[in-house]
Amino acid sequence: MGEDDKLEKQIAIRLSEEDVGRLDALAKRIPIASRNAIARAALRIGMAAIEEDPARILSADAPVRKPRKKGG
């Protein structure tokens, strides 16, 4: 995050238990990043994906696939 990227605004969002669980799991896997930092990164990555293909928002409420394990 650069100096031009000051955190000046705050929003509140509602999340499902599953979303919070996934966020907590990532925070445990990436101990140098706070839950807040991970959520901001996910928001930025997700917005970039939607900007690239706005139709993706239509599948946002679809069941989330678990990532495949590498090598299996």
CA separation for the pair 43, 23 (Å, rounded): 12
Place of tokens 């907590």: 24
pLDDT bin (cut points 50, 70, 90) of residue 57 is confident
Nearest to 36, CA basis, from 11, 17, 60: 11
pLDDT tens, residue by residue, 2-56: 555 788 999 999 999 999 999 999 999 999 999 999 999 999 999 999 999 998 8
Domain boundaries defined on the chain:
17-58
Which has more pLDDT, 62 or 49? 49
Are the CB atoms for 27 and 34 separated by under 8 Å? yes
CA separation for the pair 36, 43 (Å, rounded): 10
